[in-house]
Structure formats: C-alpha cells, structure tokens
Amino acid sequence: MAFQCQRDCYMQEFVTSVVACSPGEMKQEINGKKETVKGFNVKLQDTILFPEGGGQPDDHGLIGDVPVLRVTRLGAEAVHFVSSALEVGQEVQLKVDWERRFDHMQQHSGQHLITAIAESMFGYKTTSWELGRQRSTIELDTPSMKPVQIEALEAAVNEKIRAHVPVAVQVLSLDDPALEKVRSRGLPDDAAGPIRIIDIEGIDVNMCCGTHVSNLSHLQVIKLLGTEKGKKNKTNLLFLVGNRVLKYAEKSYSTERSLVSLLKTGPDDHVDTVDKIQKTVKGLQKSNLGLLRDMAVLIAQNFKCNPERGNFFTLHKKEGDNEFMSIIANEIGTEETLVFLTVGEEKGPGLFLLAGPSGKVSELGPRVLEMLQGKGAGKNGRFQGKVNSMARRGEVETLIQEHCKNEQ
C-alpha cells in the first residue's frame, strides 16, 4: 500500500478517518534522558504523515488538534502515536509539519542525487546513509576521497539542480522485470504490495519509500562539507541541501561577525590571529605552571620552618593541579605528617590529596572520599581523586584534626 504522503509529497492537509485506536507507549528523550511515554496508537484510513523508513525520519504534525509524536510503519499500515485517544470512525483532518517534511524531502532527494553522481563519476557505491538533525551523511564504499573529487562532485550535483531535472514516482509490481534495472539495497522483511520507484530523469532509478521533491530545482543547492573516516575502509561524506545550506550560511556569517568584534581583525585574518592567541596562552600556561611549582615549594618550606608546626598540614587553593599538591606533600615529607590538600572551587568540584602514614591514610581516605562525594583510590600512604563538591571540606579538616589529636 502507498500512503497519500507517498502519492503526493507536497500535500500539507488531508481529511481521513480513524480505523483503530489502542493504548500504547513510546520511548522519548526528555531533558537528555530516555523515558517511557504512555499514549495511544492510532491507525487511519490513509495518511499524509510519513512513517520512518528508508533512512528518513518520520513526519510530525496534527490529527485535529492532537499532536502526533511519532509515526511508524507496521507492514502496510502507518501507526500514529498520540497522547489523547481518538474515536474509531471519526473523521479527522491531518496537518503535516511542513518545514520538517520539506527539509526531509530536500535531504533525501539530495542523497539520491549525490549517490548516483558519485557512482557514475568515481564508481563509489553508497552502502548506507543517515538523515541527521543538522547535517546528513552518506557512507561511500571507498577508503578516502580527494579534495579535488569532492569539489568536482559538488559542482556536478549543483549543475543537475540548475538543469531543472524532473523527479517522477513509479509504482511497479514485485514481478515486474523492470525492477532488475533499479538500484536498491534490498526490501524490508515485512514489505508488502507494489514497489515504489524514484526516477530522477536520466540520472538515477532507485527503489525508495521516502518523500521526495518533484524536480531537482526544488533542492536549491547542495553543499558538501567534507569527509570523515568511516568504518571498514569506508568514507563518510557530509552534506547539506536546500534550506539547511541557507541556515548554515546565516550561522557562519553571524559567527564571523562575532569574531570580527572579538578579535578586532577582518575575517581573512581570523585563523592567524587565533593561532597567535593560542601560542600566547600556551606560553602563559607554561609560565603559570612554573610559578605554581615554585609556590608549592615555598608553601612547604614555610610550614617546615615553623617551630610550632604540628603533625597536620592542610591547604585549599583555587588554582592548582595534582602536580602542585604532590610537590607540597613531597617537600613536607609525609612519614610523620598528615597532609590534606585540595584545589578547585570552594564549594564546587575539584581535586584532593590525602598523604601521610599509610595506616592513617588507609583509614581516613574512604571517609574523605564519601564526605566530598568523590571518586579516587589510594596506596603507599597516598589517597587522591576527583570530588563533586568541596562544600564539606571544613568538616573533613575537623575529622582529620581530631584523628591526629587522638593519636597523640
């Protein structure tokens, strides 16, 4: 069965009726976590909302005033997941989220075009593809692509867009001999009914269930962003089509203007300016590390020169690292002295080091870790790690001081 969205990809509203409605649930990402959402699975007599398939995500839209959260294919039927129950037999009006739909049409038809031209120009076959939220990827059966090949491929696909090449939909039966000449990566196991073919005139004939533009001119433009190393000697080609290219250009220009304001230089000088800044920062960081090391030695010497020093030393410093704390502990000497050091935000995350006699450190280390909500380990008289919160640092100091007094 072909859905109305496949017969007319440009239809944005449609009247149909509810044939089934049953309780259901789906996994949905909420605030970065996947949670189970309860609702209803609705089947309609026909639909303009495309169910996910062929590498293309599903459509969003409305059934009446009820948002459709997901559309999936079950055999020859589309299942719409909604939050509210709908009455069986009820006549309803569908409305597709056109911005999302047309974006998917552009990216999907663009993929067909890029795939066909990449194979005809270089012999690189497409093994898979992904329609991403911001950019899409075609996996090509080649270990690499040269920059000159990417440039030539981009020029070739955009030339076809400017040529206003028609894109037609054909429907063939499973036993039609014409299917043997159609490019395909195979049918789903539960595929039913006639086979849908996307024919880009004179360029490509491909088996596909997705929604597509009716003319390559509707793609507007294709931008090949470059390649990334794929799996098993394959190459991932990154691309944008149509409105995504315009949004990318707008975002890039906005970023460029912000950099002009920050760097006080023109766009052509940004790379050199940032390179100089990075080198300067690295130099300052190196100098800062040297100062911190010198400071660590002085802090330790100051403690050792104090005639009234006890058998416990503690220090918290916002700036510092593990090496800073280790230098202090080494300079003081921890055979008889218990040293508790922390670096980081006063009530935020940071690092800690507890050093001293092995018995004391082994006993106190796990308790310090628990109080500071951290992760770490210890051996040979040292216990160190990362902590989530320094809020109870004062309590830890008191605990260690009391332990030292009880040992005297």
The residues pairing with 235 across neighbouring beta strands, listed in sequence order, are: 140, 229
The residue among 224, 250, 276 that closes a domain is 250
Q: How far apart are CA 178 and CA 128, in angstroms?
A: 23
pLDDT at 32: 79
Domain boundary among 36, 69, 96: 96
Query: Under DSSP, is residue 334 helix (H, G, I), strand (E, B) or coil?
Result: coil
Residue 209 domain flag? yes
Would you give per-residue pLDDT tens digits along the chain (408 residues)?
A: 589 999 999 999 999 999 999 999 998 887 778 889 999 999 999 999 999 887 899 999 999 999 999 999 988 899 999 999 999 999 999 999 999 999 999 999 999 999 999 999 999 999 999 999 999 999 999 999 999 999 999 999 999 999 999 999 988 877 676 666 676 655 555 555 678 899 999 999 998 989 999 999 999 999 999 999 999 899 999 999 999 999 999 999 999 999 999 999 999 999 999 999 999 999 998 888 888 889 889 998 998 888 888 889 999 998 888 999 999 999 998 888 899 999 998 888 999 999 999 888 888 889 988 898 889 988 889 999 999 888 888 998 898 888 877 665
Same-domain check for residues 83 and 149: no
Contact 227, 233 (CB under 8 A): no
Residues 317 and 232 in one domain: no
What pLDDT is attached to residue 172?
Answer: 80
Sign of the C-alpha dihedral computed for residues 167, 168, 169 and 173 taken in this order: negative
For residue 247, what pLDDT is reported?
Answer: 96
pLDDT score for 286: 86
Q: Is residue 268 part of a domain?
A: no
State the angle between helix axes of 393-407 and 358-371 in degrees (0 to 180), rounded to the nearest 10. Answer: 150
For the domain that residue 155 is a member of, what is the CATH number? 3.30.980.10
Q: Is residue 263 part of a domain?
A: no
120 lies in the same domain as 228? yes
**Of residues 107, 94, 106, 142, the one with CA closest to residue 122:** 142
Does 75 share its domain with 142? Answer: no
Check if the beta carbon of residue 392 is closer than 8 Å to that of residue 371.
yes
How many domains, in total, are found in the chain?
3
Q: HSE on the CB side for 370, CA within 13 Å?
A: 6
Indicate whether 238 belongs to any domain.
Answer: yes
Is 121 found in the same domain as 83?
Answer: no
Residue 380 in domain? yes
Q: Is the torsion defined by CA of 14, 66, 136, 210 positive or negative?
A: negative
**How far, in Å, CA of 63 to CA of 39, rounded?**
14
Domain annotation covers residue 218: yes
Angle between helices 322-332 and 270-304 (to 10 degrees): 20
For the whole prediction, is pTM greater than 0.85? no
Four-residue CA torsion sign, 262, 268, 271, 277: negative
For 73-123, the three-class secondary structure string (H helix, E strand, C coil) is EECCEEEEEECCCCCCCCEEEEEECHHHHHHHHHHHHHHHHHHHHHHHHHC
Within a domain: residue 356?
yes
Question: CATH no. for residue 8?
Answer: 2.40.30.130
Same domain, 316 and 370: yes
Q: 118 and 65, same structural domain?
A: no
* CATH number of the domain bearing residue 338: 3.10.310.40
Cα 214 to Cα 47, 198, 207, 210, 294: the distances in Å are: 19, 10, 16, 13, 71
Residues paired with residue 375 on neighbouring β-strands, in sequence order = 386
Per-residue model confidence (pLDDT) at position 49: 97
User: How far is 18 from 82, CA to CA, in rounded Å?
Assistant: 13
In a domain, 166, yes or no: yes
Q: How many CA atoms lie within 13 A of 39 on its CB side?
A: 22
Domain with 350, as residue range(s), is 287-406
Same domain, 92 and 107: no
Instruction: Write the single-letter amino acid at 90.
Output: Q
**Percent of the chain as helix, strand, coil, to the nearest 5:** 40, 30, 30
Domain boundary among 79, 96, 113: 96
Same domain, 121 and 244: yes
For residues 157 and 180, membership in a common domain is answered with yes
- Measured distance between the N- and C-terminal CA atoms of the chain, rounded to whole angstroms: 86
139 and 240 fall within a common domain: yes
Burial of 96 (0-12, 13-18, 19+ CB in 10 A): buried
Do residues 333 and 237 share a domain? no
Gap between the Cα atoms of 397 and 389, Å rounded: 15
For 203, phi then psi, to 5°, come to -120, -45
